[in-house]
Chains A and B, each alone.
Chain A
Amino acid sequence: MVLLSTSEPTGVAYVQTTNLDGESNLKTRYAKQETLQKIPEKENVSGLIKCEKPNRNIYGFQANMEVDGKQVSLGPSNIILRGCELKNTTWAVGVAVYAGSKTKAMLNNSGAPSKRSRLETHMNLEIIFLSLFLVALCTVVSVCAAVWLRRHRDELDYLPFYRRKDFSEDEEKNYNYYGWGLEIFFTFLMSVIVFQIMIPISLYISMELVRVGQAYFMIRDAEMYDESSNTRFQCRALNINEDLGQIKYVFSDKTGTLTENMMEFQCASIWGVDYNGGKATSQDQKDGYFVQADGQVLRPKMVVKTDPELLQYVRNGKETKEGSYVHDFFLALAACNTIVPIIVDTPDPTLKLIDYQGESPDEQALVYAAAAYGFMLIERTSGHIVIDIQGERKRFNVLGLHEFDSDRKRMSVILGFPNQSVKVFVKGADTTMFSVIDRSLNTSIIRATEAHLQSYSSIGLRTLVIGMRELSTSEFEEWHSAFEVASTALMGRARLLRKIASNIESNLCILGASGIEDKLQQGVPEAIESLRTAGIKVWVLTGDKQETAISIGYSSKLLTSKMTQVIVNSNSKESCRKSLEDAIIMSKKLTTTSGTTNETGRTLGTGSTPVALIIDGTSLVYILDSELEERLFELACNCSVVLCCRVAPLQKAGIISLVKKRTSDMTLAIGDGANDVSMIQMADVGVGISGQEGRQAVMASDFAMGQFRFLVPLLFVHGHWNYQRMGYMILYNFYRNAVFVLVLFWYVLFTCFTLTTAINEWSSVLYSVIYTSVPTVVVGILDKDLSRLTLLKHPQLYGAGHRDECYNKTLFWITMLDTLYQSVVVFFIPLLAYWGSTIDAASIGDLWTLAVVILVNLHLAMDVIHWNWITHAAIWGSIIATFICVIVIDAIPSLVGYWAIFEIAKTRLFWFCLLAIIVTALIPRFVVKVLYQFYAPCDVQIAREAEKFWAQSQSAAVEVEMSPILDHPRR
């Protein structure tokens, strides 16, 4: 919507764009003077707006408006986007230019995809195999049945156990026989019914149950409870728990995710002197600075800790030379910004709080800092500002303002002082500021400031350099006329303004530098460190400026000084291609010269110079959805860190889909704002931070938690457990059902292929309902291969998920072979032992039922790692329950197998068979397991042994022994 007019006389509208880009501060949008004058709320305004086609870019807008024959150009600051909230503005009138699904907000929406866990996707493939196997079994049975019918076709009429002919009526007719073609067809259908347990429908149910159980434990985990926001972990999607154990890429938002979205003024270097506060603030300073006016107390909303020494200087006023510099410094902080002070009422009528709202949180922090030192910004209009300096209100005319842009990387304000002098205050990034500072003056101070800046940025502070210059009247006049011309120019206005700005921002006198801490969330550097140790690639996608992103990269230990940074900033496709190609060559050189190549994720970066890729949103516009994607991916794979700055919400999703398309690795996106929604939905696993920035991210996420650092226990502990449990459970379920079906199948081969089951129907049904279901679910929920401590201590153990250790094709086929063997043992031992004996079908059926159930439960028991009382109860309870069920079923006189279990249990042969079956069936698995564990142990296995033996015997020595392990992989 193009703004025409607002309730503010100046035509300003304050908006909050939380829903669009996640930034919670106020932004100013302006109505054009031309329309403002016409009072569109009362009169009709006619005009023509020409604007560009709807696009996704929320930071750009190009249009012009024709009013009264005058061309007015419109930019992004003249429009309010759908999804913005008006703040402190009662009304605004505008013309809608994009509507409905063409709005930028809607274009940035990607539909919510349905997610399915990777394990499940793999499992579905395996289920197709099993279905084919089932069809094969049924085909074998039908073919055999057909052969049998053909061979015996002459006998069928009188065969005592077939009796095709019905003689009870006078005429002879076939009874229940429809020709051998149909008979075969029926046999096939019947075999499908009998063998359908092969397809583990119950598996889906148990998986859901297990996931609910796992979710319960994740939610209840006290270590993932956020004290400050009083939020628990939330499990919003129930079907991707196990994906948490296989994450290879983490895409993180910055603001609100890595950082708390709270800037804090930490220290300043003024006139070459470092004031880094930090000393314990005395009690009387606790309330901070305040001013009294008209019986009312004004106080800044945020309290900033102050440096007493500096405060002293400020109080003493301008008398000393240092004092005057300090004065100018804070004046610059208070003035050189686009902050809007808003006075907020408090319950106490005499107390009012000043809330500084503005586009940049850095500026907010600086203004709060200035206020704390007694330079309180009280009012801002487009023409003047009022600053309360040490209790004395002063009004400054704002003669001109050059806004921040990413080329100059600085902003400046030209102030007319009450005493008619004119000064320009400039603040900006150190890289660009030093080039415009007059180096001839005060070289020692510049050098000292540079040293301070170095030390600030090394501790991860965001630094800004502040300079000023007094303008002579002639200079001012010259500038003023140029400014007038430029600001009304229709063509190339931005370029002209930039030129003027760079003219005026020269030969500055350095005042000092400030250090602002973008407060990281608790434990973020440690979390990132361990994520990287685990072989997870962390990509940071942020809407922030490149400098901010890099400085956060340093403070969160994402970037280290050892890394080589590759920066891609391009404005066209061609230059993009070129810089990408250069970067690839460079990164290859860097990673290969040092010797080791990156064969696997584990050894990534060891010994070689790690490369960090920094790329901005504009370049991504050209790269995404074009053939350059491939190159970017290639480059990104060589880099250990990727930072993307200035990216739009949909670009975040684009980057994720870039990775998702090209690898089979799992991606996780974590973010907190509405701008992260599309990214969260695109990633395999979306994690929402339930922070301050609304609920959209949480609503779109699969998991939600209070802090970034909870990602570590979530992935390493719960993810690992869930993956291990689910992987085992799926394999076990396949095995469990297949063994039963195969036993049925073998029997069919001895019944003329007619699908008689010795195991009675009730037992067939109860098999997956009662006999074997509970232990599966219990083990799926409660089994723990390693303790939480070990998993957190060795993040590398997470690699088990990356390498698909718990569920893969090989394991599946090995399990199926084992299944085949076990079913043969279960079936043929009783068959041979009872061949040619008086055994009846019901009795041997009971034997088979019990044998299978005990076998599969003991098989499970053999693989259980963590035996607690619930596991014991489930496994042994199931076996007992099976006995009870079999007894109950055999106590029903109307069933064929009446009393069979009692008769057969009286014979010793029965028990001998049972024992032989179980031992024989389990031996191969046991042997393979022992050999594998002993001679090709996986990391998890060793860690488990270490957990058991090392903890007991030499608890003291462990620390010594273990510490090098932790340190080693950190390059």
Chain B
Amino acid sequence: MDTNGATTSSAAGGGSTSKSSSKKHSRKPVYSRFTQQELPACKPILTPGLVIATFTIIGIIFIPLGLVSLSASEKVVEIVDRYDESCVPSDYSNDKLKFIQNPSINKSCVRTLTVPKLMKSPVFIYYQLDNYYQNHRRYVKSRSDKQLRSVSDEKSTKDCSPEDKTVDGPIVPCGLVAWSLFNDTYGFSVNSKTIEVNKHDIAWKSDKEHKFGSNVYPKNFQSGGLIGGAKLNSSVPLSKQEDLMVWMRTAALPTFRKLYGKIEQDLQANEKIQVVIQNNYNTYSFSGKKKLVLSTTSWIGGKNDFLGIAYIIVGGLCLFLAVCFILLYVIKPRPLGDPSYLSWNRSPAGHPN
């Protein structure tokens, strides 16, 4: 009868239940630390020491980081020159749109910039557009990344309308983004001596190698009724059109800079730089601003004090909190895990709350 003997029947007179259960397979759960939820575990508790240490460490790390990045940002020399207003001749100042839309008017414009401090090579040239929503949904959707990569996908322009095709066939590169390519140009000279602007390697290497095909050539570009911006040399493959690549990396924010080129020579302090600007790009229709920016760079990037200040504030706050907590713990301590603080042990009258 007692075939497996797994369960010992408790009493002789226990009756039929124990007999039948010993015959059946015991369903007792197999013990393991996992199923009994007894896995070894670490149970951290926010002790005063831990809290104070955390705040102190954060403070100690953050304040130097903030100072370092602030000083790095301070060292960056930046020249910003807004030229969209001043590059319109005074007789057009009331109707800038007419000026910019008339192709027969000479758009050249000369600006003089003074270098405030020594700018070490390389000096980056940016154009900055304000109030230009390159992140507008209509705009960012209007492109075809397939088409940019390979000739075979030339016809995949369904997202690109209204700049998808002309009567002669599909537009390459299609879409509003490419169509609105920035077309102001800058020429730099110091003391009548031209400064070379290096326009190579302004786009990401990955874009040049993979994203923009080396056998894709511009086609039917800017041939429609409305010209949005720069034209492309249809004999140069897209993988060499670095301005286009920079432009096609649509900016995240409505105020943005795009790399125009690099000046690979130092600019001395108080040097006067003559810039000849071809003011072609139309931002007047939506009161957008155009700025020319010359800037050096630091290990943290361009000139932006925000992060340094933020670090200092957060670090300071943490140190302050650490001090506060030290004081709190000293003034009003509570022994951890003291059972007399349990709610059912706190008599209504007796214990201080």
Q: Give chain A's interface residues, CB within 8 Å of chain B.
A: 152, 155, 158-163, 165-168, 175-176, 216-217, 219-222, 225, 227-232, 286, 302-303, 602, 721, 750-752, 754-756, 758, 782, 784, 788, 794, 796, 799, 829, 831-845, 865-871, 893-896, 898-899, 902-903, 907-909, 912-913, 916, 919-920, 923, 926-927, 929-930, 933-935, 937-939, 942-950, 961-962, 965, 968-969
CB–CB A833/B136 < 8 A: no
B299 touches A782 (CB 8 A): no
Q: Give the distance to chain B from A604, nearest Cβ to Cβ, in Å.
A: 11
- Cβ–Cβ contact B251 & A916, under 8 A: no
Q: Fill in one digit per residue for B277-311: 1 if any A CB lies within 8 Å of its CB, else 0.
A: 00000100110000000000001111010110011
Is B36 among interface residues, defined by CB-CB distance under 8 A? Answer: yes
Q: Which B residues lie within 8 Å of A962 (CB)? A: 339
**Most chain A beta-carbon contacts within 10 A, residue among B128, B311, B336:** B336
Please name all residues of chain A whose beta carbon is closer than 8 Å to the beta carbon of B94 when the two chains form the complex: none
B105 within 8 A of A: no
Tell whether, in the assembled complex, residue B285 and residue A158 are in contact, meaning their CB atoms are under 8 Å apart.
yes
**B152 at interface (Cβ–Cβ under 8 A)?**
no
Chain B residues within an 8 Å CB radius of A221: 29, 35-36
Among candidates B161, B252, B336, B345, residue contacting A949 with C-beta atoms closer than 8 Å: B336
Contact between A167 and B17, CB atoms less than 8 A apart: no
A231-B27 in contact (CB<8A)? yes
- Asked if B301 contacts A837 (CB within 8 A), the reply is yes
Complex CA–CA separation, A327 to B41 (angstroms):
67
B149 CB contact (under 8 Å) in A175, A893, A965: A893
* A305, closest chain B residue (CB): B13
14 A-B pairs, CB-CB below 8 angstroms? A158-B285, A222-B29, A228-B18, A230-B24, A286-B12, A602-B343, A784-B37, A835-B253, A838-B257, A841-B251, A896-B143, A912-B311, A919-B62, A939-B344
Chain A contacts for B69, CB-based, 8 A: 912
Say how far A231's CB is from chain B's closest CB, in angstroms: 7
Task: List the A side residues contacting B64 at CB < 8 Å.
Answer: none
| Cα(A784)–Cα(B283), bound, Å | 61
Provide the B250-264 mask, 1 if CB < 8 A to any CB of A, else 0: 111111111100000
Bound CA span A745–B254, Å: 16
Q: Is B40 an interface residue (CB 8 A)?
A: yes
- Chain A min CB distance to B149 (Å): 6
Q: How far is the CB of A122 from chain B (nearest CB, A)?
A: 23
Contact yes or no, A754 B226, CB < 8 A: no
Are B166 and A168 in touch, CB under 8 angstroms? yes
Partner of A923, one of B26, B28, B317, B337: B317
Stretch at the interface among B110-118, B204-212, B268-276: B204-212
Q: How far is the CB of A46 from chain B (nearest CB, A)?
A: 48
Q: A912-B69, A929-B46, A942-B339 are in contact. Are A756 and B136 (CB under 8 A)?
A: yes
Q: Say yes or no: B314 contacts A923, CB within 8 Å.
A: yes
A161 touches B307 (CB 8 A): no
Task: Flag if A232 contacts B17 (CB, 8 Å).
Answer: no
Tell which of B138, B302, B304, B310 touches A161, judged by Cβ atoms closer than 8 Å: B138
Are B21 and A229 closer than 8 Å at their CB atoms?
Answer: yes
Interface size range on B against A: 35 or more
Our pick among A167, A751, A961, A969 for the contact of B162 (Cβ within 8 Å) is A167
A899 touches B133 (CB 8 A): no
Residues of B contacting A913 with CB < 8 Å? 307
* Interface pair A839/B286, CB less than 8 Å apart: no
Q: Is the CB of A836 within 8 A of B206?
A: no
User: Which residues of B pack against A, CB within 8 Å?
Assistant: 7, 10, 12-13, 17-18, 21, 24, 26-29, 31, 35-37, 39-46, 48, 51, 54, 58, 62, 65, 69, 126, 128, 132-140, 143, 145-146, 149, 161-166, 176, 179-180, 204, 206-207, 210-211, 224-226, 228-229, 249-259, 282, 285-286, 299-302, 304, 306-307, 310-311, 314, 317-318, 321, 325, 328-329, 332, 334, 336-339, 341-345
Taken together as a complex, chains A and B put the C-alpha atoms of A834 and B310 apart, in Å, by: 13
User: For residue B8, which residue of chain A has the nearest CB?
Assistant: A227
Q: Is the CB of A920 within 8 A of B314?
A: yes
Distance between Cα atoms of A939 and B24 in the complex (Å): 45
- Chain B CB count within 10 A is highest, among A163, A217, A908, A965, for A163
Known contacts: A829-B310, A899-B207, A903-B204. The answer to whether A841 contacts B36 by CB under 8 A is no
Look across to chain B and name the residue whose beta carbon is closest to the beta carbon of A717. B37
> Are A220 and B35 closer than 8 Å at their CB atoms?
yes
Instruction: Among A155, A219, A799, A899, point to the contact of B204 (Cβ < 8 A).
Output: A899
> Within the complex, what minimum Cβ distance (angstroms) separates A886 from chain B?
15
What residues of chain B lie closer than 8 Å to A839, measured between beta carbons? 251-253, 256
Q: Which of B44, B135, B140, B257 is in CB contact (< 8 Å) with A837?
A: B257
A835→B304 contact, CB < 8 A: yes
The reply to whether B307 and A909 form a contact with Cβ atoms under 8 Å apart is: yes
Contact indicator B18/A894 (Cβ below 8 Å):
no
Residue of B nearest to A833 (CB): B307
Chain B residue with Cβ nearest A895? B145
The reply to whether A225 and B28 form a contact with Cβ atoms under 8 Å apart is yes
User: Are B256 and A838 in touch, CB under 8 angstroms?
Assistant: yes
Q: Which of B17, B40, B256, B328 has the most CB of A within 10 A?
A: B256
- Which residues of the partner chain A approach B163 to less than 8 Å between Cβ atoms? 163, 168
Asked whether B46 lies within 8 Å of A227 as measured between CB atoms, the reply is: no
Complex: A187 Cα to B334 Cα, angstroms: 55
Is the Cβ of A946 less than 8 Å from the Cβ of B136? no
Give A222 to B40 CA distance when docked, in angstroms: 18
- Bound: A930/B44 CA distance, A: 13
Q: A152-B286, A161-B134 are in contact. Are A303 and B17 (CB under 8 A)?
A: no
Give Cα A831–Cα B255 distance, bound, in whole angstroms.
11
A720 to chain B, nearest CB (A): 12
Rounded to whole angstroms, the CA-CA distance of A796 and B133 in the bound complex is 60
Q: How far is the CB of A213 from chain B (nearest CB, A)?
A: 11
Minimum Cβ distance to chain B for residue A652 (Å): 27
Inter-subunit contact A217/B35 (CB<8 Å): yes
Report chain A residues within 8 Å CB of B311: 912, 916
Contacts A222-B36, A750-B254 given; does A176 touch B161 at CB 8 Å:
yes
Establish whether residues A756 and B165, one from each chain, have CB atoms under 8 Å apart when the complex forms.
no
* Docked CA distance A750–B206 (Å): 28
Chain A residues with CB under 8 Å of B29's CB are: 219-222, 225, 232
Separation of A865 and B45 alpha carbons in the complex (Å): 8
When distances are taken between beta carbons in the complex, the residues of chain B under 8 Å from A216 are 35
Taking a contact as CB atoms closer than 8 A, the residue among A222, A837, A871 that contacts B302 in the complex is A837
Give the CA-CA distance A770 to B79 in the complex, in Å. Answer: 45
CB distance from B19 to the nearest CB of A (A): 12
Min CB gap B312→A, angstroms = 11
Task: Assess whether A217 is in contact with B37, with CB atoms less than 8 Å apart.
Answer: yes
Determine whether the beta carbon of A919 is less than 8 Å from that of B58.
Answer: yes
Do B301 and A175 touch (CB < 8 A)? no
**Contacting residues, chain A, for B299 (C-beta < 8 A):** 908
Nearest first, the 7 closest Cβ-Cβ pairs linking A and B are A945-B337, A946-B337, A899-B206, A166-B162, A167-B225, A754-B137, A220-B35
| Closest A residue by C-beta to B353 | A936
Contact A944–B43 (Cβ < 8 Å): yes
Q: Are B307 and A916 in contact (CB under 8 A)?
A: yes
Distance in angstroms from A940 CB to nearest chain B CB is 10
Q: Of A831, A870, A949, which is within 8 A of B337 by CB?
A: A949
Contact across chains for B37 and A782 when beta carbons are under 8 A apart: yes
Q: How far is the CA of A772 from the CA of B235 in the complex (A)?
A: 49
Q: A160-B180, A894-B146 are in contact. Are A165 and B162 (CB under 8 A)?
A: yes
Whether B252 pairs with A832 at a CB distance below 8 angstroms is no
Q: State whether A898 and B211 are in contact (beta carbons under 8 Å apart), knowing that A838-B257, A923-B318, A946-B337 are contacts in the complex.
A: yes
Find out whether the CB atom of A945 lies under 8 angstroms from the CB atom of B336: yes
